[in-house]
Structure 1
């Protein structure tokens, strides 16, 4: 009896997922197009949160794949992918990039190369969000004005482990690997493995 119920459950679940995936892709297409994102072919489980401010620019290359929430890659800390591009800022995502529950916040410029794999729950920021001066943070005007932004660049074939955070001014060289739950505060050369909080060099590839 249990075997029959299990088979029936899996069959119904498969049909529901097929219908849902079609709806998710349509909603994602509307969200991207409505935010003036330039994008090519993509696949999605769930749909992202996207906000591109006036004067901002977001470009996503072909064969882009994303998982949003628990759908597609249920490894914990689920959320929709977030793409936020501030006024005058630019976000460029290359071809054949895959990500799950990723938050990318561009206040200046973030560039992600081709064939990059970004693990679940990764956050990429090119800004401090707030001034580092305590007195300035008391007033919203000076807080925003004195925040520091520096571009982020992630090279081709990079693999960023789940739940890692990439901070402003970081450049990660091609083929390098960032271990899970790392906090990357400084640039990393090509063909190396780094991990930790803050990240430390482990070995060359």
Structure 2
């Protein structure tokens, strides 16, 4: 039984790697070293740009009809994360919301996720949000407003809980990271 479980797990991993290689060209941009689970996830590929070394956990839903979702380098997403880049137009009189196809400019807004961000499992990122460099979004959070660099946010709606580093440590961290890039 253990062998069967191991074998099936191995097959799923190989299938995911192959589908990842095939699907990466569908993204607007996709840097090297990205790993995502296209089989059990939904992406609006044409509006999404991925940096280098991005990991997107299983069951992701990254969706934006018109605006872009830009994801920096070395970003990690836990399982079941949703990024929603827009709303439905709900302001038309005399029509069912389902039948309204026209979007208003305020219905969509770009989402930017900077480098070195970690988004925990089952978090939701809504339109118009920027997640600053090095920030952390705790599992299950709903992010409705932009997050400052190196902040740790949690809750619904997400609020700053604390910062990863002091201001002095942030400068040291940035210099060390920059040296790694050189």
TM-score by length of 1: 0.69
Pick from 49, 64, 74 the counterpart of residue 92 of structure 1.
49
2:141 to 170, 179, 182: 182
User: Matched residue pairs, number?
Assistant: 161
| Matched residue, 1:82 | 42
Q: Does 1:131 align with 2:89?
A: yes
* Structure 1 position 173 matched with structure 2 position 132: yes
Q: Which has the higher helix share?
A: 2
What's 1:115 paired with?
Answer: 74
In proportion to residue count, which structure has more strand? 1
> Could you tell me how far apart the structure 1 residues matched to 2:94 and 2:43 are?
28
Cα RMSD for the two superposed structures: 2.5
Q: Corresponding residue for 1:153? A: 112
Alpha-carbon deviations, 1:132-174, whole Å to 9, x = none? 4262753666553336110000010101111111000000101
Give, in whole Å, the separation in 2 of the partners of 1:28 and 1:175. 25
4+ long deviations beyond 2 Å: 9-30, 66-69, 134-147
Contact 1:149 1:168 in 2 (8 A): yes
Pick closer, same or farther for the CA change 1:202–1:137 going to 2, 3 Å: farther
Evaluate the alpha carbon distance shift between residue 19 and residue 141 of structure 1 in structure 2; reply closer, same or farther with a 3 A threshold. closer
5+ long unaligned stretches in structure 1:
1-8, 38-56, 70-79
TM-score (norm 2): 0.76
